[in-house]
């Protein structure tokens, strides 16, 4: 099978779907790999590395789509690019299909099949394919560094001849993959770290990393699915905000990570809470692309509101493109090799990973999240 990797066209995207290391893995397994010229340049992966790994460099963007049996990408290609794909070919990338019906329609119109990297079931045997986790891990690390850089003070306790500097206080909202990495990074830098999460089972993980857990009494309205909070009541969110308001007002840096798949991000930091924060403090809103956990954050901007610096970077993994591409490439190749051999796809439609991630099959919508859209 011929695999094609396009150069990413989404604004602020620096990653690439395959690295030379993973090209070697695929060519060694009998696949033919074609990479668009310059696809890895923003990840510090020049064309020569791909050529040495056995890939062919393609200068024509359209040819990647028209001449490939499988297209591997980070972000979903445009409808125009999808129209170039051959009927029966396969696309694998992030899709977020339930909120992008136009993408589903474009795949249907092209008569192709599409697997979504964000829909891979979060089960133990799919861990090596879990791009959401690998990229969130890097995002949590980068969020702390960006927050520290914007803060006008140091993180650790420092005792000097001129006096003692108190450690900074970091409040992290959400103890998922990104939040846990943020805890570990902030602790390594010497900060005092407090963590809020509405899932009580995360308390032990937070404490194991040295964080202090801000405990909110849960209720029956909290529903989780695949490691994410899927649904929570307005009453509970209000209760949570009231409890953490005090902690936020004393924080030097607040990092918010709360997302609900397919829905607008919940508001965790209100404008009133921001107004009570210390001058010069910082918020990093990791949910800004889905509306933000703070209503004052602005997409891909750093703004100052009520004396607080609010960072709204939408694509944190892309700011670490070498490592992000390295991990994503391993995820997507492991996934591809689960689905297919160099001779073709297995199409085990009842198998859990296949069934959970297949959005469109030969032009027909098949995933429950889009089948009624």
Q: Give the residue numbers annotated as catalytic, written as ranges.
A: 122, 127, 130, 133, 228
Cβ-based neighbours of 364, under 8 Å, separated by 6 or more: 108
The CB density around residue 91, as the number of other CB atoms within 10 Å, is 28
Spatial contact of 342 and 30, defined as CB atoms under 8 Å apart: yes
The three state secondary structure string of the chain is CEEEECCCCCCCCCCCCCCHHHHHHHHHCCCEEEEECCCCHHHCCCHHHHHHHCCEEECCHHHHHHCCCEEECCCCCCHHHHHCCCCCCEEEECCCHHHCHHHHHHHHHHCCEEEEHHHCCCCHHHHHHCHHHHHHHHHHHHHHHHHHHHCCCCCCCEEECCEEECCCEEEEECCCHHHHHHHHHHHHCCCEEEEECCCHHHHHHHHHCCCEEECCCCCCCCEEECCEEEECCHHHHHHHHHHHHHHHHCCCEEEECCCCCCCCCCCCCCHHHHHCCCCCCEEEECCHHHCCCCCCCCCCCEEEECCEEEECCCCCHHHCHHHHHHHHHHHHHHHHHHHEECCEECCCCCCHHHHHHEEEECCEECCCCCCCC
Q: Are 71 and 85 in contact (CB under 8 A)?
A: yes
- Distance, C-alpha 69 to centroid of its chain: 26
């Amino acid at each position: 099978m011929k695999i094609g990797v396009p150069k990413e066209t989404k604004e602020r995207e620096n990653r690439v779907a395959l690295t030379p290391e993973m090209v070697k893995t695929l060519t060694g397994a009998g696949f033919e790999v074609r990479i668009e010229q310059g696809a890895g340049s923003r990840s510090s992966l020049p064309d020569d590395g791909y050529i040495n790994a056995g890939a062919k460099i393609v200068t024509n963007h359209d040819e990647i789509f028209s001449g490939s049996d499988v297209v591997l990408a980070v972000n979903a290609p445009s409808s125009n690019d999808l129209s170039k794909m051959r009927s029966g070919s396969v696309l694998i990338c992030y899709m977020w299909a339930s909120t992008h019906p136009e993408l589903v329609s474009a795949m249907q119109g092209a008569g192709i099949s599409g697997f979504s990297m964000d829909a891979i079931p979060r089960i133990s045997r799919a861990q090596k394919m879990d791009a959401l986790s690998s990229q969130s891990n890097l995002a949590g690390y980068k969020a702390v560094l960006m927050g520290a850089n914007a803060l006008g003070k140091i993180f650790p306790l420092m005792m000097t001849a001129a006096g003692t500097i108190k450690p900074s206080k970091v409040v992290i909202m959400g103890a998922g993959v990104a939040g846990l990495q943020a805890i570990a990074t902030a602790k390594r830098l010497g900060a005092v770290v407090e963590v809020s999460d509405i899932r009580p089972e995360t308390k032990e993980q937070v404490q194991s990393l040295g964080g202090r857990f801000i405990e909110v009494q849960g209720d029956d309205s909290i529903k989780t699915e695949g490691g994410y909070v899927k649904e929570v009541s307005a009453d509970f969110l209000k209760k949570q905000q009231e409890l953490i308001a005090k902690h936020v007002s004393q924080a030097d840096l607040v990092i918010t990570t709360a997302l609900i798949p397919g829905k607008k991000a919940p508001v965790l930091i209100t404008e009133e809470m921001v107004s009570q924060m210390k001058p010069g403090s910082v918020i990093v809103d990791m949910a800004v692309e889905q509306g933000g956990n703070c209503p004052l954050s602005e997409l891909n901007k750093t703004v100052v509101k009520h004396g607080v610096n609010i960072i709204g970077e939408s694509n944190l993994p892309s700011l670490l493109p070498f490592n992000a591409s390295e991990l994503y490439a391993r995820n997507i190749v492991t996934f591809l090799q689960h689905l297919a051999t160099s001779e073709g796809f297995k199409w085990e439609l009842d198998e859990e990973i296949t069934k959970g991630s297949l959005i469109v099959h030969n032009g027909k919508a098949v995933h429950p999240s889009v089948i009624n859209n």
